[in-house]
Chain A
């Protein structure tokens, strides 16, 4: 009877379809992802209170669509704006950050910071962090077995970033806590109290970095390292202010510390679970960069999707998304989409053509730490292959365990590698 154009019927799911916190999902997410992509490529999740977008095509489209913002303040349940006088360093840095500024301002910031993040600069970072990686392996030595998580994954990323931004070695633990809290401060899957506690815990870290920036500004030459290049960056005579630089450190941490923990465990797990691929990489190390991206795609370690927020009422993927609603861009599922990757979507193939992949996101907010990830991964895997060419997963599965309650990732927190180092030495 109705003649009024109606919004499309809302497709809804709940935790029975997708529960990112369930142990079954964390152990074996693929059946859930395949169901989401096949039956619910876009759906409102009644329990998570957000849209979940899962197919490769829709995730790619959404990430490139500026109507959907990564600015947490656009969320319908975001805390109310603070008065200027009440804003702390976290608030001020967030406001100046990549996720919060206008598209024009975002491009300006990317331009100013690009020298610090570009591939050529990151290749030089290689020299600066190589010894950190080697030191981690030296500590393992010729052990018959070792745990990838505690010896490599918890150490390399945070040490690498700490060194990049000039944090002294003895403060790395504090820095790691800062990094975790920065990420937790805007996670919409956490409660407001937990977010607030995390945000307050970041403040000493922000104070530390402000001092570091001031010290650099006071030098006759701020230096050509990461922080120095941010301090001296200029566009039409205008540079980055302190909070913009803090926001860049904020972005670097988000992209490259806690998240990169999973990089190392999943790289080694993926290769040793597929010995023929490990063998191939040893024979053709020139495949390394492709292998790292493919291993990330294959391992797909995320638990929670990326978040975006609708800046207006928009139809997308045949559904009406209302202003302020949260959207979970389920790129982890998309990385296994057979419509994009064919029947081998769930297999590891380090020779795979990865054109159009969204492993590091897509569009304006493409992962700023992408080359840092590749450098770290390459350094670690090269050293691993050199030292343990005959490595295998202990007891067949690496006695794998997960940190079930991690807020963001299907975090492997135990992965035991059998090195077979002594046998190789004896044979040699």
Chain B
């Protein structure tokens, strides 16, 4: 389970936590998010994210 950071706004998607408020279950891999998924913070597309080792 890894973390991904939005390069535009710094939002961190944590695969282990998912985004239950947004209907994304804990354990959902970033690669399994829909292609049209956008950052919940700034609305940037999925390709604005990269792996984060904070």
Residue numbers of A with Cβ under 8 A of B are 60, 63-64, 107, 110-111, 114, 117-120, 355-356, 360-364, 366-367, 370-371
Contact = CB atoms under 8 A, between A and B. Distances in A.
A79 B8 CA distance: 30
A114 B7 contact: yes
Nearest to A120: B54
Given A107-B48, A119-B12, A120-B54, A366 B41 contact: yes
Contact of A370 (B7, B9, B44, B50): B9
B19 to A, nearest CB: 10
Pick the most buried of A117, A119, A362, A366: most chain B CB atoms within 10 A of its CB.
Answer: A366
Interface in B1-39: 5, 7-12, 21-22
B12 A111 contact: no
A362 B43 contact: yes
Contact of A355 (B9, B40, B54): B40
Contacts of A371: 10
A207 B33 CA distance: 46
A110 B8 contact: yes
Contacts of A110: 7-8
24 contacts: A107-B7, A110-B8, A111-B7, A111-B50, A114-B5, A114-B7, A117-B10, A118-B5, A120-B54, A355-B21, A355-B40, A361-B42, A362-B42, A362-B43, A363-B42, A363-B44, A364-B44, A366-B9, A366-B42, A366-B44, A367-B9, A370-B9, A370-B10, A371-B10
B12 A364 contact: no
A109 to B, nearest CB: 9
A366 B54 contact: no
Interface residues of B, number: 17
A366 B21 CA distance: 22
Contact of A364 (B5, B8, B22): B8
A283 to B, nearest CB: 22
Nearest to A119: B10
Contacts of B8: 110, 363-364, 366
A363 B43 contact: yes
Contacts of A120: 54
Contact of B10 (A63, A107, A114, A355): A114
Contacts of B7: 107, 110-111, 114
A366 B8 CA distance: 7
B20 to A, nearest CB: 13
Contacts of A64: 43
A8 B20 CA distance: 43
Nearest to A114: B7
Smallest CB-CB A-B distances: 9 pairs: A366-B42, A118-B10, A362-B43, A110-B7, A366-B9, A111-B7, A119-B10, A366-B8, A120-B54
Nearest to A113: B7
Nearest to B47: A107
Contacts of A60: 43
Contacts of B43: 60, 63-64, 356, 362-363, 366
A362 B5 CA distance: 16
Nearest to B52: A118
A29 to B, nearest CB: 25
A406 B53 CA distance: 43
B6 to A, nearest CB: 9
A364 B8 CA distance: 6
Pick the most buried of A60, A117, A362, A370: most chain B CB atoms within 10 A of its CB.
Answer: A362
A297 to B, nearest CB: 15
Nearest to A109: B7
A363 B38 CA distance: 10
Pick the most buried of B9, B11, B21: most chain A CB atoms within 10 A of its CB.
Answer: B9
A145 to B, nearest CB: 38
Contacts of A370: 9-10, 41
Nearest to B42: A366
A114 B21 CA distance: 26
A417 B48 CA distance: 44
Given A107-B7, A370-B9, 19 more contacts: A60-B43, A63-B43, A64-B43, A110-B7, A111-B50, A114-B5, A117-B10, A118-B10, A119-B10, A120-B54, A361-B42, A362-B42, A364-B44, A366-B8, A366-B41, A366-B43, A367-B9, A370-B41, A371-B10
